[in-house]
Structures are given as structure tokens and as C-alpha cells.
Amino acid sequence: MPDVLLRHATSKDLNALLQLENRCFTEDRLSRRSFRRFLDMPRDRLIIAELDGELVGYCLVLMNAATRLARIYSIAVSPTARGRGLGEQLIVKAEQEAAAAGRIVMRLEVREDNDGAINLYKRLGYRQFGTYRDYYEDHGNALRFERRILFYAPSREFPVVPYYPQTTDFSCGPAALIMAMAAMDESQPVTTLEELKIWREATTIFMLAGHGGCGPHGLALSAWHRGFDASVWISMEGALFKDTVRNDDKKRVLELVHEGFLHDIGKTGIQLHHDPLTLTAMEEALHEGRVPVILISTWQLNRSRVPHWVTVCAIDDQFVYLHDPEIDVDEGESVADKQYLPIDKRVFSQISRYGRNQPLQAAVIVGPKRS
């Protein structure tokens, strides 16, 4: 079988691109002017496939200037060259180009009745996350798919942090802490029982609706009692999350729990800082072999207002890499989606604050076991 050549398109390919477009589509065709515009856009990619010198496929990838998203805008394979896996090769090449350009997620749209393409995308790891109604010229609907394409390559520069998913809706803090402790000590239990034990120790009793969440004081105490070094960084003093409850009796309970945490911390060597933990300090901690566990707001990620604990695993020039313990199986997420999750530094500076009026910044840094 002849080798397929994948390369970037040039203006010399315009006539062949138009011929391929007309062979593959009867509606929603790209015009010569559109192809030329995309060719002249430096951040976009128009990849073509050649077979025996003939242009038999293309994939057009758009790179959003304001986000870390890439999008397959159009893909086509000549009817005479189908069955050779060209579509998959073009998609893989498009993902490689987008990842090299710093894009985290690849998105695309596909007709809801195009079963062949849908099966290909699913096989390649894409998951549906939405629908466009009346998207095509014939008023057909489009299904929206996406896949994470940028992954962190672990290095010796930072501790290797094992991944552990939370098993309840309310135990992100214990799960994040377990990951940090397991990075320090391979014998650290990584179990649901340990997760629930820590939750019982560290819960603030009340938070929003349902079960209470865990605060930084309690998580630090849990790490300390298991023999690990720990320090706490909080941007404000007093009982946390009081604004999440309206009942005065519940507010008083939160204050008593907070006083109890402070009393217990006073009997340990835990360092308590009433300052926000900077990104520079997080990176320094990682270089020293310690692992930060931080509280974030996931509003920009999934439109949830619930405070959420994650583990910081690595930092480079562009991204902060997180282990997010929450996996939404119903949305098709897997461990690969939440392990070493790259967050743009600009976005991270926004999500690492919880609340509106006086945003809370909270973190626990877990260090190696004390001798």
C-alpha cells in the first residue's frame, strides 16, 4: 500500500482542495475564498493527505486565540481513498499540531446521522458534550465532541503523585490529601476507608447543602496525625464557609469547630499562615519535594459553585498541572481527563480563589514524614 504523505497545505493546493470539497460535500462547502483565508491565518492549520501525488484528504483545525481550545472545523477524505484509515491519520496529526501549539482540548461537530464518523471519534476517545440544533444548511443537527489532547510528561523535577478518585460527592478534600501523602510515602493507604476516615476528621460539619466539606485546618491535622509535615495557608482568619449557611445556630457550630481545629493545631508543629499561597511558593514547594493541596472554585471549569479540593502536581511555563479527584462518569470522563490536568496559569489565578466579595484562598502543603 502506498505511503500517505501528510503536510501543511499551501496556496498551490487550492484547486485540488476545491475539487475534493465538491466531491465530498453537496452542502456546507468551503469556498476558495474561505480556504485562502484559513491558509493566511498563521495560528490555524490546514493539513492535507497525499496519495501517489494526489490530494485525497484534508483536515482544517482552528486555534482559538483567547482560549486553549482547538477545533476541527472540517475534515474530508476522497471517496476513492476511503477504507485506508486516512481520516484517523488526519485527526491524529491535527491533535499533534494542536498540542504542540499549547492547546489542551480538541473539539469538533458531526452530523447526528453520520454513524461512521461518530464511531470513529468515539474510538479515538472523543466524548459528546453538547448538541447544536439547526446547524447545517439542511437544518440538520450537529453533535459536539471533545477530547483532551495535551498531557503532562512526568519528570524527576517534581514528586510523582499517584492518582486517587474521590468515591463520594463530598470527599474531594480527603482524596486530594491522600494523593499528596501517597506521593510522600508509598505505604500510605489509598482506600475508601482512609478517605472516609479523613473526612470524619476534617469536615467543617456544614457547607451549602448536604454533607459538610473539609477545611484546610482539618486536612492539615489529618496529615500531621499520620506522621507527615504540614503547613496551612489561608487568606483570612476566622471560621471558614460561614456565608454558606444562613442559620445562626449552624454558624455558631462552624465557629466552635474552627476553635477546636485551632486548639488542636496549637499542640502540633503545623505552621499556620494567614496569607494566600502564591504560585511561586507552590512551585518552590514542589521543587523541595512537597505537594500542595489547594481549594479552588470550579465555576470556570464546570459552572459549579461548590468549593473543590485538588492536588497540584507540577508547574511549567504555561500550565499548572492538577490531579482533580472528581470524575464525572455520566459525562464520559475518565482518569485520563483528570490526571495531570493542565490549567493555564492565567485561568489558575482565577480559579484558585473561592467566593465573590472576599475571595478565600486556602491550601495545605504536605511534606515528607517527620523523623
pLDDT band at 245 (very low <50, low <70, confident <90, very high): confident
For the cut 60, the answer to whether the pLDDT of residue 1 exceeds it is no
Spell out where the chain has E strands: 4-8, 45-51, 54-63, 69-77, 105-111, 127-132, 142-148, 228-234, 271-273, 291-297, 307-315, 319-323, 341-344, 362-369
Check residue 27 and give its pLDDT.
87
Domain boundaries, the chain: 4-148, 172-369
For the cut 70, the answer to whether the pLDDT of residue 209 exceeds it is no
Check residue 129 and give its pLDDT.
85
Cα–Cα distance between 26 and 55 in angstroms, integer? 19
* Cα 147 to Cα 95, 122, 283, 319, distances in angstroms: 9, 10, 28, 18
Cα–Cα distance between 361 and 190 in angstroms, integer? 27
Cα–Cα distance between 260 and 265 in angstroms, integer? 9
Check residue 333 and give its pLDDT.
76
pLDDT band at 123 (very low <50, low <70, confident <90, very high): very high
Check residue 164 and give its pLDDT.
96
240 or 127, higher pLDDT:
127
Check residue 208 and give its pLDDT.
53
Question: Per-residue b/e over 249-266, b at no fewer than 16 CB within 10 Å?
Answer: eebebbeebbeebeebbe
Check residue 315 and give its pLDDT.
94
Mean per-residue pLDDT of the chain: 90
Check residue 118 and give its pLDDT.
96
Q: What is the pLDDT of residues 157-180, one digit of tens each?
A: 899 999 999 999 999 999 999 999
Check residue 246 and give its pLDDT.
78
From 62-76, 107-121, 295-309, the region with the lowest mean pLDDT: 295-309
Question: Mean pLDDT, to the nearest integer, of 352-363?
Answer: 83
Q: What is the pLDDT of residues 83-105, one digit of tens each?
A: 899 999 999 999 999 999 989 99
Q: Which long-range contacts (CB under 8 A, 24 or more apart) does 312-318 make?
A: 312/282, 312/286, 313/152, 313/158, 313/159, 313/161, 313/286, 313/340, 314/152, 314/154, 314/155, 314/157, 314/158, 314/286, 314/340, 315/158, 315/279, 315/282, 315/283, 315/286, 318/102, 318/342, 318/344, 318/345
Number of H-type helices and E-type strands within the chain: 12, 14
From 51-60, 99-108, 246-255, 266-275, the region with the lowest mean pLDDT: 246-255
Of the candidates 124, 163, 119, the one whose C-alpha atom is nearest the C-alpha of residue 143 is 119
Check residue 153 and give its pLDDT.
77
Q: What is the pLDDT of residues 23-38, one digit of tens each?
A: 999 888 999 999 999 9
Question: Mean pLDDT, to the nearest integer, of 310-327?
Answer: 92
Question: Mean pLDDT, to the nearest integer, of 188-209?
Answer: 87
Question: Mean pLDDT, to the nearest integer, of 299-308?
Answer: 71
Does 3.90.70.10 match the CATH number of domain 172-369?
Answer: yes
Check residue 207 and give its pLDDT.
56
- Provide the percentage of residues in the chain whose pLDDT is more than 90: 65
Check residue 130 and give its pLDDT.
84
For the cut 60, the answer to whether the pLDDT of residue 137 exceeds it is yes
In this chain, the answer to whether the domains covering 4-148 and 172-369 adopt an identical fold is no
For the chain, the straight-line distance linking the first and the last C-alpha, in angstroms and rounded, comes to: 64
From 151-160, 229-238, 240-249, 304-313, the region with the lowest mean pLDDT: 240-249
Check residue 173 and give its pLDDT.
96
Q: What is the pLDDT of residues 328-339, one digit of tens each?
A: 877 677 787 888
Check residue 251 and give its pLDDT.
84
pLDDT band at 300 (very low <50, low <70, confident <90, very high): low
Cα–Cα distance between 53 and 195 in angstroms, integer? 59
Answer CATH for 4-148 from 3.40.630.30, 3.30.360.10, 3.40.50.970, 1.10.3720.10: 3.40.630.30
From 71-85, 107-121, 137-151, 347-361, the region with the lowest mean pLDDT: 347-361
The answer to whether the CB of 199 falls within 8 A of the CB of 173 is yes
265 or 157, higher pLDDT:
265
The helix/strand/coil state of 213 is coil
